[in-house]
């Protein structure tokens, strides 16, 4: 079982190398990519079952004992997010394959997209299962290196500007991250998370708070927390739909995962919990207000992405089992829903030839399936029962009510307000894009950018992949009972930390 733990990282890297070598064989590239990610989905499913029934799975690479060697570990949280992320990456890859076949035919290969995409998937997997801060840094760098390639493909002046912002912010975050690692190692002599969770307690309160706040800034940039979010609404909308979908679904959630992992296991601090609650309020409110001011559908969805990161931070900041349970449920729900909405946006802009809500009209009449594929995740994101968004939000509201503090009540009120404003934003999209008289698609201003082709052409893989993500969101709601129970057990493990420490350090002694 421990051997399986390395495969979600190794297989995509090997697949990326093979795809690069077979750059002139698009048929083989497609088979390699879909096969690799299908195997990762299967492995993640096994890990979810094993971690929930038998406990965490640990692999000490090279046989070197923790805390000196490289530790890979999958517990309930890591395995669950690995599974959901693998499903999303597979669906997005199928969508992108369908889009490329529709636009360029079956025989024209892309030498950069699939290798870079598989490298990105390897980085996401490593971030979930790494057991030390330095390899978490490595995972982020793998993701960022691949994302630089993906976000600047088919370069235009607009995308170069957006890419520059993304690169500069990412490099700044990386610099702060390596500084954090240096400070942590200088203060404690270790960067293994299990060992660090013990050594960190011996530091003075001031040092603990300073390091914890620096970690919050580092991972807050990657998670796009307000006021560190400014780069996201300008960067994500410039990329093609599949790239935006996987960025929105996964990259910010890896930042949230890092916050949850480090702040429950290592950086537990009352002052930091309060800071997280304040930032969650700002993130929810500022993000949703930015969304309702947008006329560009992709920018609207990008601001909503920022806003709903605040819900996850709200649950984490409560620092209770119920709160962290709600945060986990919200991450799982949001990964699928946000990716699905960006894929639907890709279908919509292909149908209309524009991203402007003012220029769209009547899509419900011309493409009722696209309308249905939008309606379900839109209601899900707004938290309308009985969808998974409602279940996650109710858990968060319960955590806020049980806390009985002014700050918790304020965060709960902000979450309720954000939910109503999210519904309003989704209604604006529905009224602007789907109601009214049918319009002919606008001609494409730049046929080489893969953004708004306006042809109305889609194929079955594109619609199928989008439908899979929409139905996955529905399936999460149908499995709410078992999923909530598993999330609660994961939250107890996170806040306790004893099992994580025990299995890593005991394995290292063996």
Q: Which residues are paired to 296 by β-bridges? A: 356
Q: 219 lies in which domain range?
A: 2-507
DSSP designation for 132: B
Distances (CA, A) of 336 to 85, 253, 259, 266, 362: 8, 11, 20, 28, 26
Percent of the chain whose predicted confidence (pLDDT) is above 90? 60
Q: Is the dihedral of CA 5, 10, 16, 18 positive or negative?
A: negative
Q: Above 90 in pLDDT, residue 94?
A: yes
pLDDT for the residue 438: 75
pLDDT for the residue 231: 86
pLDDT for the residue 105: 66
pTM exceeds cut of 0.85: yes
Distances (CA, A) of 329 to 4, 77, 84, 314, 480: 25, 10, 12, 12, 9
The count of other CB atoms within 10 Å of the CB of residue 145 is: 14
Each residue's pLDDT tens digit, 282-328: 999 999 999 999 988 999 999 999 999 999 999 999 989 999 999 99
Distance, CA of 484 to chain centre: 19
Q: Above 50 in pLDDT, residue 2?
A: yes
Q: Tell me the pLDDT of the chain averaged across its residues.
A: 88
**99 or 479: which leads in pLDDT:** 479
pLDDT for the residue 112: 81
The count of other CB atoms within 10 Å of the CB of residue 151 is: 22
Each residue's pLDDT tens digit, 167-202: 888 889 999 999 999 999 999 999 999 999 899 988
pLDDT tier for residue 230 given thresholds of 50, 70 and 90: confident
The count of other CB atoms within 10 Å of the CB of residue 103 is: 15
Q: Above 90 in pLDDT, residue 154?
A: no
Q: Above 70 in pLDDT, residue 24?
A: yes
Structural domain total, the chain = 1
Give me the numbers of helices (H) and strands (E) for the chain, helices first please: 21, 2
Q: Above 70 in pLDDT, residue 364?
A: yes
Residues 284, 307 contacting (CB under 8 angstroms)? yes
Q: CA 492, CA 418: separation in Å to the nearest integer?
A: 28
Q: Above 60 in pLDDT, residue 93?
A: yes
Q: What mean pLDDT is predicted for residues 491-503?
A: 88
Q: Is the peptide bond before 479 cis (omega within 30 degrees of 0)?
A: no
Q: What angle do CA 101, 105, 107 make, to 5 degrees?
A: 110
- The alpha-carbon radius of gyration of the chain (Å, integer) is 22
- Residue 330 main-chain phi, psi, to 5 deg: -70, -40
Q: CA 248, CA 80: separation in Å to the nearest integer?
A: 18
Q: What mean pLDDT is predicted for residues 66-89?
A: 92
- Residue 59 main-chain phi, psi, to 5 deg: -130, 120
Q: What mean pLDDT is predicted for residues 495-507?
A: 84
pLDDT for the residue 450: 57
CB-based contacts of 480, cutoff 8 Å, min separation 6 = 388, 391
pLDDT for the residue 150: 86
Q: CA 195, CA 337: separation in Å to the nearest integer?
A: 36
By mean pLDDT, which of 10-24, 86-100, 382-396, 429-443 is the weakest? 429-443
CB-based contacts of 133, cutoff 8 Å, min separation 6 = 180, 181, 184, 191, 193, 196, 262
Distances (CA, A) of 454 to 98, 173, 444, 458: 16, 37, 6, 11
Residues 456, 441 contacting (CB under 8 angstroms)? yes
Each residue's pLDDT tens digit, 245-289: 999 989 999 999 999 999 999 888 888 899 999 999 999 999 999
Residues 411, 314 contacting (CB under 8 angstroms)? yes
pLDDT for the residue 510: 45
CB-based contacts of 450, cutoff 8 Å, min separation 6 = 99, 103, 153, 154, 240
């Amino acid at each position: 079982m421990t051997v399986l733990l390395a495969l979600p990282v190794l297989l995509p890297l090997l697949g990326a190398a093979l795809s690069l070598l077979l750059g002139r064989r698009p048929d083989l590239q497609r088979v390699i990519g879909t096969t690799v990610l299908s195997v990762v989905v299967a492995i993640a499913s096994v890990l979810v079952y094993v971690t929930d029934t038998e406990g965490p799975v640990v692999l000490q690479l090279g046989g070197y004992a923790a805390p000196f060697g490289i530790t890979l570990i999958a517990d309930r949280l890591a395995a669950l997010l690995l599974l959901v992320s693998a499903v999303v990456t597979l669906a997005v890859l199928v969508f992108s394959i369908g889009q490329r076949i529709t636009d360029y035919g079956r025989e024209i290969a892309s030498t950069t997209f699939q290798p870079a995409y598989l490298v990105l998937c390897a980085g996401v997997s490593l971030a979930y299962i790494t057991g030390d801060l330095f390899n978490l840094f490595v995972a982020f760098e793998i993701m960022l290196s691949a994302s630089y390639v993906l976000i600047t493909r088919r370069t235009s002046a607009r995308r170069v500007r957006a890419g520059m912002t993304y690169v500069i912010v990412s490099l700044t975050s990386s610099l702060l991250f390596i500084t954090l690692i240096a400070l942590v190692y200088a203060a404690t002599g270790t960067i293994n998370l299990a060992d660090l969770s013990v050594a960190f307690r011996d530091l003075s309160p001031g040092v603990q708070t300073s390091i914890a706040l620096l970690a919050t800034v580092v991972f807050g940039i990657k998670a796009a927390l307000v006021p560190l979010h400014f780069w996201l609404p300008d960067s994500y909308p410039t990329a093609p739909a599949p790239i935006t979908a996987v960025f929105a679904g996964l990259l910010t959630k890896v930042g949230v995962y890092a916050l949850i992992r480090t702040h429950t296991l290592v950086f537990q601090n009352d002052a930091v919990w309060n800071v997280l609650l304040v930032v969650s309020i700002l993130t929810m409110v500022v993000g949703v207000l930015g969304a309702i001011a947008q006329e560009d559908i992709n920018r609207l969805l990008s601001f909503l992405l920022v806003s709903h990161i605040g819900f996850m931070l709200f649950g984490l900041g409560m620092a209770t089992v119920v709160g962290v349970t709600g945060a986990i449920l919200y991450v799982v729900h949001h990964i699928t829903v946000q990716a699905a909405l960006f894929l639907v946006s890709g279908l919509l802009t292909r149908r209309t030839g524009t991203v402007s809500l003012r220029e769209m009209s009547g899509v419900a009449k011309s493409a009722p399936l696209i309308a249905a594929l939008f309606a379900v995740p839109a209601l899900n994101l707004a938290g309308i029962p009985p969808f998974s968004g409602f279940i996650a939000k109710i858990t968060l509201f319960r955590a806020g009510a049980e806390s009985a503090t002014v700050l918790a009540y304020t965060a709960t009120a902000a979450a309720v307000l954000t939910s109503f404003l999210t519904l309003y934003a989704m209604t604006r999209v529905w009224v602007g894009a789907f109601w009214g008289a049918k319009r002919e698609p606008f001609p494409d201003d730049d046929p080489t950018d893969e953004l708004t082709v306006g042809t109305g052409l889609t194929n079955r893989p594109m619609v199928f992949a989008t439908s899979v993500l929409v139905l996955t969101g529905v399936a999460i709601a149908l499995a709410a009972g078992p999923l909530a129970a598993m999330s609660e057990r994961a939250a107890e493990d996170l806040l306790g930390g004893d099992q994580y420490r025990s299995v890593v350090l005991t394995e290292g002694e063996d």
